[in-house]
């Protein structure tokens, strides 16, 4: 096991995990708003925000799928050491992380069932940048409207049509994080 596998987690776990968890809660409660994350230092190409999200959300009972370039030995070892999460195929994942192209096709992920819509996957989409531009977002947690540069508006509109089923999303870029729950209405710019 390489030394970089053993490093990069939260230095002050209770404090930093609480701060990261709060940022993630705020992001999910206020879709489209961009928040800062800190504390994690995962191996490349995983961002600080995606690493922090995994440290907060994953444990030994959370099936995680690594997509595209994120399915690398250094990241696999880092997640295993810091969270104990089992690494699985996308069909079994509760959490998935990767870039947009690597995460596709989205219909392979669990969207829940009518009796248990919470048994769906949450995707952490690594992006080059996050900006308050592009698609218009409305719905719960948004007073009027927010904007967020989404990779494919049609996909998120189709996901919303599945409600109460569907996927939830976190978008990360560097230390920045935004969220898009399945309840959010997405309109093209």
Pairwise CA distance, residues 93 & 4, whole Å: 25
Pairwise CA distance, residues 133 & 94, whole Å: 29
Q: List, in order, residues 6 or more apart from 45 with CB less than 8 Å away.
A: 69, 70, 72, 126
Domain ranges for the chain? 3-187
Q: What is the mean pLDDT of residues 2-16?
A: 73
The 10s digit of each residue's pLDDT in 48-94 is 999 999 999 999 999 999 999 999 999 999 999 999 999 999 999 99
**Which residue(s) pair with 146 in the sheet?**
137
pTM of the complete model beyond 0.75? yes
For residue 155, cis peptide bond before it (omega within 30 degrees of 0): no
Q: Which fold is adopted by the domain 3-187? A: Rossmann fold (3.40.50)
pLDDT at 5: 60
Q: What is the mean pLDDT of residues 123-138?
A: 97
Token digits for 86?
Answer: 């089992």
Q: List, in order, residues 6 or more apart from 3 with CB less than 8 Å away.
A: none
Average predicted confidence (pLDDT) for the chain: 94
**Which residue(s) pair with 178 in the sheet?**
171
pLDDT at 1: 54
In this prediction, what percent of the chain has a pLDDT beyond 70? 96
Check pLDDT > 60 for residue 3. Answer: no
The 10s digit of each residue's pLDDT in 21-37 is 999 999 999 999 999 99
């Amino acid at each position: 096991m390489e030394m970089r596998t053993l490093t990069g987690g939260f230095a002050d776990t209770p404090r930093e995990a609480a701060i990261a968890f709060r940022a993630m809660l705020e992001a999910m409660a206020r879709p489209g708003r961009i928040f800062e994350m800190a504390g994690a230092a995962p191996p490349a190409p995983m961002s600080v925000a995606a690493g922090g999200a995994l440290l907060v959300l994953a444990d030994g009972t959370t099936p995680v799928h690594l997509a595209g370039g994120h399915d690398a030995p250094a990241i696999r070892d880092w997640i295993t050491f810091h969270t104990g999460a089992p690494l699985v195929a996308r069909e079994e994942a509760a959490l998935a992380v990767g870039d947009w192209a690597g995460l596709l096709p989205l219909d392979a992920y669990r969207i829940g069932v009518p009796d248990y819509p919470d048994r769906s996957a949450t995707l952490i989409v690594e992006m080059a940048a996050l900006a308050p531009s592009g698609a218009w977002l409305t719905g719960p947690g948004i007073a009027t409207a927010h904007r967020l540069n989404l990779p494919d508006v049609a996909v998120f509109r189709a996901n919303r049509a599945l409600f109460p089923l569907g996927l939830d999303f976190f978008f990360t870029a560097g230390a920045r994080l935004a969220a898009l729950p399945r309840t959010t209405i997405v309109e093209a710019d």
